[in-house]
A and B are shown apart, each in its own frame.
Chain A
Amino acid sequence: MKKELLRIKGLTIEFQGEISYPIIRNLDFSIWKGEKLSLVGESGCGKTITALSLMGLLPYAIKRKEGEILFHTAREVLPLHSFSPDSPEWLKVRGKEISMVFQEPSVSLNPTLTAGYQIAEPLIYRGCNRKDARDRALRIMEKVGLPHPADVYNRFPHELSGGMQQRVMLAMALILEPSLLIADEPTTALDVTIQAGILELIKELNEKMGMAFLLITHDLGVVNDVAEEMIVMYAGEILEQGKVKDLLKNPLQPYLKGLIASLPSLSGGKKKLESMQGSVPQPWERPVGCVFSPRCAYRMSICSRPPLWKEVENGHWVRCWLYE
């Protein structure tokens, strides 16, 4: 029986300024214990904002308007949406229950602290003595595949390669053994051969530690490699959700169809690339009705009204008028 870990209910996040506009609208999904979930979309779709809202790290002027984020710990249900960003209640969640790995490791590590100290810091902050913290940090460093942990512990981030820096980030995120890891484009800045190693590691951690992950990426190949479930986001809304295998074999929403068709295929002969016209709309010029309709090849007159969220096949949900 699968247990719910995190539930997002009708989450709307908006930019509040002289003019306000929603960045994410009416988001609804759950993350289950030990799940391998992936959030896919192009840049500007609201993937990162979704992740930051789960960590209570939304940037200034971007605020939750409505909706709930509920996190189930072993004992209680925490309403993350009601915590203010600097409230001490976040201590129970950030790092301990949910932790995050960011896109660019060279930017997210503190250049003035040694790699090892940054990994051990969450423990020291929570009152663990330095020696024990160091021992635990060394153990986790070994687990994430950093060579010679004792040596790397005393090195500064600039002395490490990109792949090693990302492993340090992972060790940092994992040291408190969270039940959910959010990885925001963890391999985009890395080379393919290094990427393969990091993805393999995330998969392994999920299987061995039973840690659920939410992998944010724009690369459908990466999704196919590591995730089991996927959510497709476009312009702040979820357009399609289901098992990775079903979605990639049989995409329903024209957006996902277009994304797949616009990837240059590796095996097989040369086929013509079908490119979608236009680009992702800015949040302040969101189309009415279906958000994808201005770029959609199958547009009908009904598309000016918002389509419903519908389960077309078992576990395969889509938001599109074609399937009404």
Chain B
Amino acid sequence: MSKQESVLEVENLRVYFPVYRGFLRKVSGYVQALEKVCFTMGKGEVLGIVGESGCGKSTLLKSISMLVPPTEGKIVFSCNGNFYVLNELTYHELVKLRPFIQIVFQDPFSSLNPRMRVWNLLAEPLQLHASLSRSKLRDRVEEILVSVGLDPSHVYRFPHQFSGGERQRIAIARALILRPSLLLLDEPTSALDVSLQAQVLTLLEKLKEEYKLTYILVSHNLGVVKYLSRRILIMYLGRIVESGESEDVFFSPRHPYTEALIQAIPRLDGEGRRRIILKGEVPNPISPPSGCVFHPRCIYKRGICEKKIPQLQDVSSLHRVACHRAEELKLAGLG
């Protein structure tokens, strides 16, 4: 990969949520939602983030969009040739950058205000961030509705008059109307049926070219992630355990958790494959296990796994993994 213009750099990001206890509300511990997360994103890239519920995927998106301020670390966002460290900006500086980072939430049934018409939903961001005349406003709203595949004549309808797939299109339109450069997608299709999911995925692909977008896609559905993104991160308990080009990660995973995740997906074409059923549950993020956080559920664990925390290391170019035994293990991928 040639040296690309980077859009986002996340360095050693930590997000801790305090846990209060007792009458005096003393801090008794921290939920370690994200622990030392690092990655860079080039312009026009689609980064997929995969993991089970509670692994910090959504927290990561929320802290990139500064809805949840990071406890430690840096989020560097580049825009028009300038670099901004998002978590060191003042509120007013941050508001000026908001149009460039937008987010689409999981459930279009709860992320759209049921009392606002499509017109208000879509015009509101423009009214806040750009002062446009009413006719210009109308042009922008119509243009965006057409490009997400909705009928501009439905502009005075309420969200409940649309189906789930159409509602998600409205949510996407609302995120795109300010022409962001980075779009964060938090499980954009998990509330939708299969046929609608395919419609939204093809739409996202089309829009990426049209608006020259960079996506971060969070999903637990590996098929969706594989379809849209070229590079993926696998997360477990707030940590990145594996990252790389999606072909590499899917076809030759190097982390036991990735292997288990891939083998657990029910597939149309999977016959006679080795199924690994993980024992137990995801541990409590208030007191994560010592050493490698995956070791209590790992079938390949050794003594060292309980003692030493594995660091993310290159196994080949662009493919990084945090596992002590990454070199010796032969893990099964797709196919």
Residues of A within 8 A of B (CB): 42-43, 147, 161, 163-164, 191-197, 199-200, 218-225, 248, 258-267, 270, 272-277, 279-280
Contact = CB atoms under 8 A, between A and B. Distances in A.
A133 B220 CA distance: 39
Interface in B167-212: 193-199, 201-202
Given A200-B277, A218-B194, A279-B163, A273 B267 contact: no
Given A221-B268, A266-B226, A197 B335 contact: no
A196 B201 contact: no
Given A42-B193, A43-B193, A266 B52 contact: no
Interface stretch (B102-110, B137-145, B258-266): B258-266
A279 B193 contact: yes
B150 interface: no
A264 B268 contact: no
Given A161-B281, A266-B334, A221 B194 contact: no
Name the 6 nearest CB pairs between A and B, nearest first.
A221-B266, A262-B198, A275-B198, A264-B227, A264-B223, A196-B264
B71 interface: no
B277 to A, nearest CB: 5
29 contacts: A164-B281, A192-B52, A192-B220, A193-B260, A193-B264, A194-B281, A196-B277, A200-B275, A219-B266, A220-B194, A221-B266, A222-B266, A224-B270, A225-B266, A225-B270, A264-B201, A264-B224, A264-B227, A266-B222, A267-B267, A270-B227, A272-B202, A273-B201, A275-B195, A275-B198, A275-B199, A276-B195, A279-B163, A279-B164
A259 B280 CA distance: 34
B68 interface: no
Contacts of B268: 220-221, 224, 248, 260, 263
A164 B270 CA distance: 27
Interface of B: 52-53, 163-165, 193-199, 201-202, 220, 222-224, 226-227, 250, 260-261, 263-270, 275, 277-278, 280-281, 334-335
Contacts of B194: 42, 218, 220, 259, 262-263
A195 B227 CA distance: 22
A103 to B, nearest CB: 14
